[in-house]
A and B are shown apart, each in its own frame.
Chain A
Amino acid sequence: MLLEVTGLRMQRGGQEVLGSLDFAVDRGEIYGLLGPNGAGKTTCFDILAGFLAADAGEVRLEGCPLGGEARRAVGIVPQEIALYPKLTCRQNLRFFARLYGVRGDAVEARVSGSLRDVGLEASADRPVAQLSGGMQRRLNVAAGLVHDPVLLILDEPTVGLDLASRLQIWNLLRTLRDRGRTLLLTTHYLEEAETLCSRIGILVDGRLAAEGSLEELRGRIPAAEVAGIECEEPTVLRERAEALGFAWRSAGDRTAVWLPERETLEGVAARFEGLAIRGLTLQPVRLEDVYREVIGHPQTPSESSLAHHAGAAVPGPQVDWTP
């Protein structure tokens, strides 16, 4: 394992923020840390980045404690755009490369390489202030990469971006992974984790409540498919589901019914015949279903802003049927 986090504990103001957190990141993977607000994602990021010292526990990078000079091997991409707006992209990257001890000819080589990695070669000599928000985000990533770290830690890398810019960043992160980079990212966006991460950890109250690949996490839901049903009489619908032997969860104004076998839309509609159904979707188990189950707040509205706008980002078929 490239990064090993063991027994990480942190208290703030007498409150436990992290309680014995353990996880590991393998070389060449994208590992995603998910969790609701207050789960400890940012504290974990701050400790890994070096902003904060943990009360207890150990962080090892390539087998060595992460601290002092070893921090040079880590690249940090903070949530905010942390660049000098009046300087050009190239000047920014030169500064950050030298800050991490890159010297001589290596500086220009690393700057050019990072600009190429994030697709900003054509804008290399433009001031950052003249770049679009998405381009600034990409340069923000490049500033974390420019000293050629073995691990890149990103805190909410697409927060506040429009869909097009978000997809650009996703492509960039995939490209970095394909070139052998190891990435650890915290995110609020379930689709981001679902699309990018080879393994995902879900933090709840400072502890890792679930971890695994997407398939492993999906396997926690005992269902072949999930039917999302909007109904005038949700109580009656839920009673019918229980009578049919189906588990269900409330998801905002929908009821998610777990189907143990794959079914057709017509088949599901037939099972709930006689009820005033306004809408019905049928889709495979998604990370969102797992996430709701793990965080233990099934009535919390979805945190995924893209789910309703970017069907293409959600793997698997998604069909709507309105009776």
Chain B
Amino acid sequence: MLNVAGRILLELGSNRRSLVFWALFPALMLLLFGLIYAEGGSTGHSFDRTAPGILIGAALFFSCLGGPITVLVGERERHTLKRVLLSPLPPTRYFLGVFLAFCVVAAGQTVVVYGIAFAFGAAFHGSLPLGVAIVGLSVLAYVTLGFHFGARFARTTEEVNGPLAALGVPLLVLGGTFFDPSILPPYLMAAAQLDPIFHMNEALKAVSAEGAGWRAVADHLLVLGGFALFAALVGLRAYGRLLREEGGS
């Protein structure tokens, strides 16, 4: 597991451009939305409200959902998947290695996003362990989903970007990444309940910006946990199928 995570991080480290964009994009989005919502007034409150959504939507979405897809597609394109298949490494440990690698990436992005937010006067108002748990569950949900898409659908790197933008960005908007979802009309609010990003955003905003406790975000955590478990099961199943296909190819 550590071996797989270490290898992924080494590869990411050698491709600094991805790392820079994974830091630059959320940083710029946070600055823009934080300053827009400040409306010339106090930036502290504005960045309090903006940072959680930007972390979940602009940072973790692209790294922890798009990243595992790219990892799996890359393994397939470079034929290394065959070597992994033949090794005694069980699929679950391979998956945990991918998850661990993107946890490290997520930790770095969290430091960048909250570092900027703190610089503009924001604060983390709730329980830090609860915040870490929400971010961790979000990473798990994204990575499992990415694992599923990577194993099931994406055959080449070019196939990754289109669906990610076409399906992912609307889910980000619906999930209230860039605005308060209370402005959504009732039918869209109902649809948002099915969007895991909505639950990630709402839970982290409640804890980070409003200081909410475990009980207040329990429903969101339950949905998120259930989604992550479901995505993990289908993701591992898709991975097993991918290995069989690779073996028979």
Contacts and interface: CB of A to CB of B under 8 A. Distances in A.
- Which of A78, A91, A99, A101 neighbours the largest number of chain B CB atoms within 10 Å of its CB? A99
B10 A83 contact: no
Nearest to A80: B79
Contacts of A50: 85-86, 247
A99 B80 contact: no
Contact of B3 (A52, A86, A95): A95
Contacts of B247: 46, 50-52
Contact of A143 (B15, B83, B88): B83
A86 B80 contact: no
Given A100-B87, A100-B88, A84 B82 contact: no
Interface in A71-107: 71-72, 76, 78, 80-87, 91, 95-96, 98-101
A98 B247 CA distance: 22
Interface in A47-86: 49-52, 69, 71-72, 76, 78, 80-86
A86 B89 contact: no
A318 B15 CA distance: 53
A51 B88 contact: no
A50 B247 CA distance: 8
Interface string A3-28: 00000000000000000000000000
Nearest to B11: A86
Contacts, number: 66
B11 A87 contact: yes
Nearest to A127: B14
Contacts of B6: 95
B10 A82 contact: no
Interface string A260-280: 000000000000000000000
B248 A51 contact: yes
Contact of B15 (A52, A82, A86): A86
A234 B143 CA distance: 69
B11 A82 contact: no
Interface residues of A, number: 27
A76 B83 contact: yes
A50 B88 CA distance: 11
B88 A82 contact: no
A78 B7 contact: no
Contacts of B11: 84, 86-87
A49 B86 contact: yes
Interface string B72-102: 0000001110111111110000000000000
Contacts of B7: 84, 87, 91, 95
A160 to B, nearest CB: 14
A191 B240 CA distance: 39
A82 B3 contact: no
A84 B248 CA distance: 22
10 contacts: A69-B88, A71-B86, A76-B86, A78-B82, A83-B78, A84-B11, A86-B15, A87-B7, A100-B88, A127-B14
A-B residue pairs, 4 tightest by C-beta: A51-B247, A82-B79, A80-B79, A98-B3
Interface of B: 3, 6-7, 10-11, 14-15, 78-80, 82-89, 246-248
Given A82-B78, A87-B14, A95-B3, 13 more contacts: A46-B247, A50-B86, A50-B247, A51-B247, A52-B247, A71-B88, A76-B83, A81-B79, A82-B83, A84-B78, A86-B15, A99-B83, A127-B14
